[in-house]
Copies of this chain bind each other. A is one copy, B any other.
Amino acid sequence: MARVLVLYYTRSKNTKKMADMIASGIQQAGVEAVVKDICETSAEKMLDYEGIVIGSPTYYGAPAYQVKQFLDESVVYHGRLAGKVGGAFASSANIAGGNETTILALINAFLVHGMIVTGLATGDHYGPVAINSPDTRCKQICTEYGAKLGNLVKTLYP
């Protein structure tokens, strides 16, 4: 059965909260979701999952370096993630403070891996964003995004 790994880096717990909300949406689609702190796992773990979702706070318009380190270390598995589903989310202190570029940096990394990504026709189109603590708006988008990712994983890995 297909499974999704939801990784986050967090200091304020906002990104962790979003990870849990997205995992809940994935599970609503009938797909198992495992949430992990990206600093407490290794790139190798990604091999065990059909979907990989990564979230980060927005530091200088991009994911935290700890997230980038994880991605850089995934190079030893390059090619083996191709065809898996990727998803991204970000938390930020400002409305236009770099949250879209943070998400798109993660999506770019998934594309370099040959992975498959999906957008959202409503709301935060590239992936869910929280401005400070995730509110009701954010929760709804996280749940919807999780469900969308879960359904995509189910279709691709029945």
- State the A residues within 8 Å of B (CB): 59-66, 68-69, 71-72, 74-75, 78-79, 81-82, 94-101, 103-105, 107-129, 131, 137, 148, 152, 155-156
Question: A65 touching B72 by the CB < 8 A rule?
Answer: yes
In the docked arrangement, what's the CA distance between A79 and B59, Å?
14
Of B74, B81, B125, which is within 8 A of A112 by CB?
B125
Question: A98 touching B116 by the CB < 8 A rule?
Answer: no
Question: B103 touching A104 by the CB < 8 A rule?
Answer: no
Residues from chain B with a CB closer than 8 A to the CB of A137 are: 95
Closest to A155 in B: B156
Question: B121 touching A114 by the CB < 8 A rule?
Answer: yes
In the docked arrangement, what's the CA distance between A65 and B147, Å?
31
Known: A68-B65, A105-B62, A109-B60. A96 touches B117 (CB 8 A): no
Question: B99 touching A126 by the CB < 8 A rule?
Answer: no
Taking the closest CB of chain B, its distance from the CB of A116, in whole angstroms, is 5
Of B60, B117, B156, which is within 8 A of A71 by CB?
B60
